[in-house]
Chains A and B, each alone.
Chain A
């Protein structure tokens, strides 16, 4: 795990990154993302219907222990985090839609997380709830820098471009840092963990990406929107889950449950990176194709 210093450093970096993401956006982008509100609804469903169920099913299939099941289902119930926004940006998906979905799912999580946890993890008596100050914190981390970035870009396009580049570069550095250092930093944990847990945390992300995409396509979202929903579905707010576990449980139970969010967070960065590279390529190819395509009859 990260030290408190590292954690606050990461938070500051997240603010700068979101500042940069904001500088890539205009209000028009948000208006465009709200033009198809069903996309947000579909993302919402895939996050709060598909994911908890996938988590629950995986836990059953892999015969996870009670504690691990609690951890995995909690992971499945989490809203999206700012990480999903960064990957949306890098994969050239619809960042504005991704941010809108993160905001909506975080707010809704306040009510939905306790309900789902009660439903899926009967037998564990502790009441799960997202601490309200955490929601406020996340919204603050997300909204203020984004809005500030947007405003600065509007004021001066050059400043906006520099901020966007800085944010993007820092985002890439942070992701690279996490990818490169997670094995050396966590080798002991990695050795001790059973293959079932590996399978569960890796599959949760991947199946989330896949089902998020397929579901959106079935619901007739455009491929680019479907990719955005897919990333938003697969990438859950790992740190938030870890925090909830720490606040809800104590002692050995806490440590056993905590394993899941920690392992999930490690692997989701890796998986998202591959998926992002793939999505970026597809987006690029679509752009090229659109460049050539005929105008549709109006």
Chain B
């Protein structure tokens, strides 16, 4: 008998009332439906005119800001520049590669207003990764931060990029501040390299756009008014943790749906035009892109942009100088804040809610946050492929170790390897269907067919559902280790190892083994010495079934990680396989 009904009856529905604080079905969102993102941007500018939209806050407190009207006017002019001066057409790909700074929202909104497709590029990418992403997306124009102009210069000839627009962290700071900051960045931090790129500066590009707009008496809305929700807005690259990087095709409708979903569940906690959100996560990442840049912009919030949140002291002035009410972060960010005396002794009094995502929020971090800051910390779950939110914890009713309930209009099931739903409480792959799920991977029908089946997104995450419709993540499917036919979930083993106070972190992986198929190996980083491999194995034996206990412990000074701080088990596995091979020879 099929188990479909367990999931399709949506046992989580009663919790929507809890989430929205109102007695209406969250499936009928009261939010106004925009047909594309520029329409949302223009509406926000109309509502919040001279209110601050974005402020960049440097580690030393230097700052610059833009109002809603300025962002709107400048992104209009930039759209004109792209279409008229560069001759781009609707649907052309334009890449944006920069950390959080004032130029990012202007470039992003300008590109979307021009009817072009945005390609978010991680500024920390290597030359090889940049080349791959530019060529794969077919981007012909790029807006890039001057900090990485040297990387671009080396590879530009190998790409199809014809137009380069440069910007800087200090863009639109007051002139004196900008000058001083550029001196500091160039000569003290040495983060602005010399280059010989043939490029236009962003403010000059915008000025050109303004002039053309005036001369031709152009109506910018003509570029975007006809855009439908099915049309592509963004190529968001993903797969860095699993394989070759591919572009998730996200439409205006995907992103707007997710914005509406966020609003319908968190909206009752957001006071329009009054919030101040700390954006320490990079906006080129889908979490901050949808939540901070889109959803909170739509609500008239003041976004405080921190260009680099590491070390965490870089956020201190932002907390000192602005009345932060919301923060979005990943586990490592909250963890780092909670290790700072200046934060824990005087936690921001204005704070209302913290949103966690990107990676599992640890129980100890969540508990500490609630006791120190005294606000809810709500964990959500999603993928780049789902714009990103699939599940969330209703604010104020969060559950420990749970990713919460599906977003409104989203169906979630748990299935076995054949795609058949599993019984209540059983572990299986989480699959999801809803308006936020991507169209597919850019130019990759095979990969798309593997992950999208009948409109269902196969997340690759193993999870379970409780009786009342709350979901729990067990582990990544790809990371699962098969020991003599038994499933071992690395998270469970890592959790056991983490209970030893001398351990800072660990990565548990499977290594091919002639006897058991795969063998469990643990790569461990100690925070203090005095722990032997035998101690760890002995401890694991008391906590775990025998087949889950690591066969081998390797001590390391650090572990390979993604820019967001997720441990790259794939890289650890490669290390392990290499050292095993070397040992056999």
B313 adjacent to chain A (CB < 8 Å): yes
Q: How far apart sit A295 and B372, CA to CA, in the bound complex (Å)? A: 12
Q: B527: which A residues are within 8 A, CB to CB?
A: 293-294
Q: Given that A295-B335, A295-B338 are known contacts, is A157 also in contact with B317, CB under 8 Å in the complex?
A: yes
Considering only residues 280-294 of chain A, those with a C-beta below 8 Å from chain B are: 287-288, 290-294
B10 adjacent to chain A (CB < 8 Å): no
- Select which of A164, A295, A297 is within 8 A of B339 by beta carbon: A295
Cβ of A164 and Cβ of B371 under 8 Å apart?
A: no
| Other A-B pairs beyond A158-B177, A161-B58, A294-B505, 5, CB < 8 Å | A31-B346, A158-B63, A162-B176, A290-B339, A294-B364
Counting chain B residues whose Cβ lies within 8 A of the other chain, the interface size class is: 35 or more
Q: A297: which B residues are within 8 A, CB to CB?
A: 364, 368
- Select which of A28, A157, A295, A296 is within 8 A of B61 by beta carbon: A157
> Min CB distance, A123 to chain B, in Å?
48
Q: A188: which B residues are within 8 A, CB to CB?
A: none
- Per-residue contact bits, chain B 328-368, to A (CB 8 Å; 1 contact, 0 not): 00000001101111100110000000000000001011011
Considering only residues 155-175 of chain A, those with a C-beta below 8 Å from chain B are: 157-158, 160-162, 164-165
Best-surrounded residue of A31, A161, A288 (most CB of chain B within 10 A) = A161
Cβ of B311 and Cβ of A287 under 8 Å apart?
A: yes
Cβ of A291 and Cβ of B364 under 8 Å apart?
A: no
Cβ of B339 and Cβ of A293 under 8 Å apart?
A: yes
> Min CB distance, B560 to chain A, in Å?
14
Q: B365: which A residues are within 8 A, CB to CB?
A: 295
Cβ of B341 and Cβ of A32 under 8 Å apart?
A: yes
Q: A122: which B residues are within 8 A, CB to CB?
A: none
Q: A157: which B residues are within 8 A, CB to CB?
A: 57, 61-63, 317, 321
- Select which of A28, A165, A295 is within 8 A of B60 by beta carbon: A165
Considering only residues 23-72 of chain A, those with a C-beta below 8 Å from chain B are: 26, 28-29, 31-32, 35
Q: A3: which B residues are within 8 A, CB to CB?
A: none
Cβ of B311 and Cβ of A293 under 8 Å apart?
A: no
Q: B340: which A residues are within 8 A, CB to CB?
A: 290
Q: B335: which A residues are within 8 A, CB to CB?
A: 293-295
Q: How far apart sit A105 and B60, CA to CA, in the bound complex (Å)? A: 30
Cβ of B60 and Cβ of A291 under 8 Å apart?
A: no
Q: Given that A28-B346, A32-B342 are known contacts, is A298 also in contact with B367, CB under 8 Å in the complex?
A: yes
Q: How far apart sit A12 and B166, CA to CA, in the bound complex (Å)? A: 42
Cβ of A35 and Cβ of B504 under 8 Å apart?
A: no
> Min CB distance, A279 to chain B, in Å?
16
Q: How far apart sit A298 and B173, CA to CA, in the bound complex (Å)? A: 41
Q: A32: which B residues are within 8 A, CB to CB?
A: 341-342, 345-346
Q: Given that A26-B320, A158-B174 are known contacts, is A293 also in contact with B504, CB under 8 Å in the complex?
A: yes
Chain A: which residue is nearest B57 at the CB level?
Answer: A157
A153 adjacent to chain B (CB < 8 Å): yes
> Min CB distance, A187 to chain B, in Å?
34
> Min CB distance, B563 to chain A, in Å?
14
- Per-residue contact bits, chain A 139-165, to B (CB 8 Å; 1 contact, 0 not): 000000000000001000110111011
Cβ of A161 and Cβ of B310 under 8 Å apart?
A: no
- Select which of A161, A162, A287, A295 is within 8 A of B368 by beta carbon: A295
Q: How far apart sit A150 and B60, CA to CA, in the bound complex (Å)? A: 14
Q: How far apart sit A287 and B309, CA to CA, in the bound complex (Å)? A: 12
Q: B504: which A residues are within 8 A, CB to CB?
A: 292-294
> Min CB distance, A102 to chain B, in Å?
21
Q: B173: which A residues are within 8 A, CB to CB?
A: 158
Q: How far apart sit A157 and B340, CA to CA, in the bound complex (Å)? A: 22
- Select which of A35, A165, A290, A296 is within 8 A of B345 by beta carbon: A35
**Which A residues fall within an 8 A CB radius of B?**
26, 28-29, 31-32, 35, 153, 157-158, 160-162, 164-165, 287-288, 290-298
Q: A298: which B residues are within 8 A, CB to CB?
A: 367-368, 371-372
> Min CB distance, A54 to chain B, in Å?
31
Chain A: which residue is nearest B309 at the CB level?
Answer: A291
B544 adjacent to chain A (CB < 8 Å): no
Cβ of A161 and Cβ of B60 under 8 Å apart?
A: yes
Chain B: which residue is nearest A166 at the CB level?
Answer: B180
Cβ of A165 and Cβ of B180 under 8 Å apart?
A: yes
Chain A: which residue is nearest B64 at the CB level?
Answer: A158
Chain B: which residue is nearest A293 at the CB level?
Answer: B339
Chain B: which residue is nearest A284 at the CB level?
Answer: B311
Q: A26: which B residues are within 8 A, CB to CB?
A: 320
Q: How far apart sit A295 and B60, CA to CA, in the bound complex (Å)? A: 26
B312 adjacent to chain A (CB < 8 Å): yes
Q: A295: which B residues are within 8 A, CB to CB?
A: 335, 338-339, 362, 364-365, 368
Q: A29: which B residues are within 8 A, CB to CB?
A: 342
14 contacts between A and B (CB under 8 A): A32-B341, A157-B63, A161-B60, A162-B176, A288-B311, A291-B339, A292-B505, A294-B364, A294-B504, A294-B505, A295-B335, A295-B368, A296-B339, A298-B368
- Select which of A31, A35, A158, A293 is within 8 A of B62 by beta carbon: A158
Q: How far apart sit A288 and B345, CA to CA, in the bound complex (Å)? A: 20
B449 adjacent to chain A (CB < 8 Å): no
> Min CB distance, A153 to chain B, in Å?
7
Q: How far apart sit A176 and B313, CA to CA, in the bound complex (Å)? A: 28
Chain B: which residue is nearest A94 at the CB level?
Answer: B341
B184 adjacent to chain A (CB < 8 Å): yes
Q: How far apart sit A296 and B345, CA to CA, in the bound complex (Å)? A: 15
Q: B63: which A residues are within 8 A, CB to CB?
A: 157-158
- Select which of A162, A290, A292 is within 8 A of B177 by beta carbon: A162
Q: How far apart sit A296 and B504, CA to CA, in the bound complex (Å)? A: 11
Q: A28: which B residues are within 8 A, CB to CB?
A: 320, 342, 346
Q: A158: which B residues are within 8 A, CB to CB?
A: 61-63, 173-174, 177
Q: How far apart sit A298 and B369, CA to CA, in the bound complex (Å)? A: 10
- Per-residue contact bits, chain B 499-513, to A (CB 8 Å; 1 contact, 0 not): 000001100000000
> Min CB distance, B363 to chain A, in Å?
10
Q: B62: which A residues are within 8 A, CB to CB?
A: 157-158, 161
Q: Given that A288-B311, A291-B311 are known contacts, is A153 also in contact with B336, CB under 8 Å in the complex?
A: no
Q: How far apart sit A35 and B527, CA to CA, in the bound complex (Å)? A: 27
Q: How far apart sit A11 and B60, CA to CA, in the bound complex (Å)? A: 26
Cβ of B60 and Cβ of A290 under 8 Å apart?
A: no
Cβ of A160 and Cβ of B61 under 8 Å apart?
A: yes
Q: B312: which A residues are within 8 A, CB to CB?
A: 287, 290-291
Q: A162: which B residues are within 8 A, CB to CB?
A: 176-177, 180
Q: How far apart sit A26 and B372, CA to CA, in the bound complex (Å)? A: 21
> Min CB distance, A151 to chain B, in Å?
14
Considering only residues 45-67 of chain B, those with a C-beta below 8 Å from chain A are: 57-58, 60-63
> Min CB distance, A22 to chain B, in Å?
13
> Min CB distance, B495 to chain A, in Å?
12
Chain A: which residue is nearest B342 at the CB level?
Answer: A32
Chain B: which residue is nearest A162 at the CB level?
Answer: B180
Q: How far apart sit A26 and B346, CA to CA, in the bound complex (Å)? A: 12
Q: How far apart sit A298 and B60, CA to CA, in the bound complex (Å)? A: 30
Chain B: which residue is nearest A31 at the CB level?
Answer: B346
Q: How far apart sit A35 and B341, CA to CA, in the bound complex (Å)? A: 11
Q: B174: which A residues are within 8 A, CB to CB?
A: 158
Chain A: which residue is nearest B344 at the CB level?
Answer: A298
Q: How far apart sit A157 and B317, CA to CA, in the bound complex (Å)? A: 9
> Min CB distance, B395 to chain A, in Å?
22
Q: A164: which B residues are within 8 A, CB to CB?
A: 60-61
Q: How far apart sit A26 and B342, CA to CA, in the bound complex (Å)? A: 11
Q: B346: which A residues are within 8 A, CB to CB?
A: 28, 31-32
> Min CB distance, B367 to chain A, in Å?
7
Q: B336: which A residues are within 8 A, CB to CB?
A: 290-291
Q: B61: which A residues are within 8 A, CB to CB?
A: 153, 157-158, 160-161, 164
Q: B364: which A residues are within 8 A, CB to CB?
A: 294-295, 297
Best-surrounded residue of B60, B338, B364, B558 (most CB of chain A within 10 A) = B60
Q: B338: which A residues are within 8 A, CB to CB?
A: 295
- Per-residue contact bits, chain B 57-101, to A (CB 8 Å; 1 contact, 0 not): 110111100000000000000000000000000000000000000
- Per-residue contact bits, chain B 168-183, to A (CB 8 Å; 1 contact, 0 not): 0000011011001000
> Min CB distance, A256 to chain B, in Å?
45
